[in-house]
Amino acid sequence: MTRIHPTALVDPGAELDASVQVGPYAVIGPKVRIGAGSSVGAHCVIEGRTTIGRDNRIFQFASLGAVPQDKKHAGEDTELVIGDRNVVREFCTFNLGTVQDAGATRIGDDNWIMAYVHIAHDCQVGNQTTMANNATLAGHVQVGDWATIGGLTGVLQRMRIGAHAMVGFASHVNKDVPPFMTVDGHPLAVRGVNLVGLRRRDFSAARLAAIREMHKLLYRQGLTLDEARAGIRALAQATPEAADDVALMDGFLGSSVGGIAR
């Protein structure tokens, strides 16, 4: 049987795999679904239409699936979707989506989310990300795969953090952060390429060289954004091995609405 502590309150309508563990005094609502191998710590509250995948570890005092902190929310049936193998530390708060967006807040797989992280309504978080203590995502934020967000960082609503980017401690993110870049500060500034992270992920020398060239085109040669994008696109022919990295960067720059950190 599901291993539920006798003091936990689990609604009969909730769907928990038989291997799920639920700690003391946790509260789980009627629309919650939790997959195999996941554990819920003491005093957690999981409510709303929340789906949690396999092998997640949710530490004590987390609040997942509460209604959005959005005055426009009028009780619509929105959702929170969490993938597999995530670690969610103490006092994290993840909210449901809103009908003004896709109606869902989504968190992918293999994310490492430290204490007191807030993920607001309609955020879209990829895979293999790291968010340090007290990182805060306002509504509609997008975080790409392998991105790292430092502690005490605030991300303004609708901003995007590109894949493999690194945001330093206590930063104020009010512009899109392009993939592969390292940024920090208030005001936000680009410091260089996230070489440490990319090397840890076994990026080849040729790919690293192409990414460093992208950084130069964007930040060191006085080019307009359109001119920089043209130079970046040309790198795909010069370094075919980095074609996917070039496409990722060019697509990110082309779809920016609020502007990039520059």
54 contacts: CB under 8 Å, gap ≥ 6: 35, 36, 37, 38, 84, 85
Active site (annotated) includes residue 17: no
From the candidates 43, 48, 109, 122, give the one annotated as an active-site residue.
Answer: 122
Considering only the C-alpha atoms of the chain, give the largest distance between any 2 of them, rounded to a whole number of Å. Answer: 65
Q: Which residues face 224 on adjacent strands?
A: none
Residues ≥6 apart with Cβ < 8 Å to 224: none
User: Which position among 139, 144, 154, 197 bears the catalytic label?
Assistant: 139
Crossing angle for the helix pair 205-219 and 225-238, nearest 10 degrees?
Answer: 160
Q: The tokens 């390292």 sit on which residue?
A: 182
What is the side-by-side strand order in the sheet with 104-107?
15-16, 33-34, 49-52, 79-82, 104-107, 124-125, 142-143, 160-161
At CA 128, angle to CA 44 and CA 41, rounded to 5? 15
3-state secondary structure of 72: coil
Distance CA 153, CA 254 (A): 25
CA 17 centroid distance within chain: 26
Catalytic annotation, pick one of 121, 140, 164, 215: 121
Catalytic residue check, 122: yes
Q: Is 226 a catalytic residue?
A: no
Residues classed as catalytic: 121-122, 139
